Amino acid sequence: MMRKVFFSSTVLFWIAVLGLWIGNVITPGTSGPAAAADREIDAAELARHASPEDCWMAIHGAVFDITAYLPDHPSRPSIIEPWCGKEASSAYDTKTKGRSHSRDADALLPKYRIGVFKP
Ligand code: HEM
């Protein structure tokens, strides 16, 4: 009888441990990239990142920290750098000369997303 109680409580214990572990693994955390990407950034905060060494841009409602990408950007620095710290959707959509960026460019953006733009 005692052995049976001992055996079933041991099994139940490990089922509980496993359940907690799986629950923890599959539940999205409250910190990390997903939560950071939803951080609200206003125009004043955006404007504090207006240099090539620290370059944030708001494009279509999201904010991107593209500092690391700037040296790889195919245009002359003088074309893209003035948009650091600013709402740059129109510049992004036209490349300042009427042609939109490619899908490849669009696909790069999520990597640099740091928050939502709340002007
Ligand atoms: C918002 C300010 C920006 C301006 C004014 C701008 C402007 C330009 C210009 C003038 C070119 C030159 C070559 C061409 O005419 O195709 C270009 C190309 C490119 N840009 Fe930007 N850019 C901006 C932001 C960005 C951002 C934030 C990304 C991605 C993180 C990006 C990714 C690219 C890529 C991948 C190309 C190669 C051509 C293409 O895929 O369309 N640009 N951009």
pLDDT of residue 29: 46
Q: Which residue has the higher pLDDT, 21 or 63?
A: 63
pLDDT of residue 4: 74
Q: What is the pTM of this model?
A: 0.75
Report whether pLDDT(5) > 90: no
* Nearest ligand 1 atom, CA 112: 30
Q: Which fold has domain 33-118?
A: Flavocytochrome B2; Chain A, domain 1 (3.10.120)
Token look-up 């950007």 returns 73
Contact residues of ligand 1, CB 6 A cut-off: 57, 64, 66, 69, 73-75, 79-80, 83, 88, 91-92, 95-96, 99, 101-102, 104-105, 108-109, 112
In the chain, where the domains are located: 1-30, 33-118
- Averaged pLDDT score across all residues of the chain: 85
Name the H helices within 54-118: 77-80, 89-94, 103-112
- Percentage of the chain modeled with pLDDT above 90: 66
Cβ contacts of 69 within 8 Å, gap of 6 or more: 108, 112
* Nearest ligand 1 atom, CA 89: 1
Distance CA 55, CA 77 (A): 12
Cβ contacts of 65 within 8 Å, gap of 6 or more: 49, 55, 56, 112, 114
Ligand 1 centroid from CA 63, angstroms: 16
Question: What is the pLDDT averaged over residues 41-62?
Answer: 98
pLDDT of residue 9: 67
Going by their DSSP bridges, the two strands 54-59 and 86-87 should be labelled as parallel
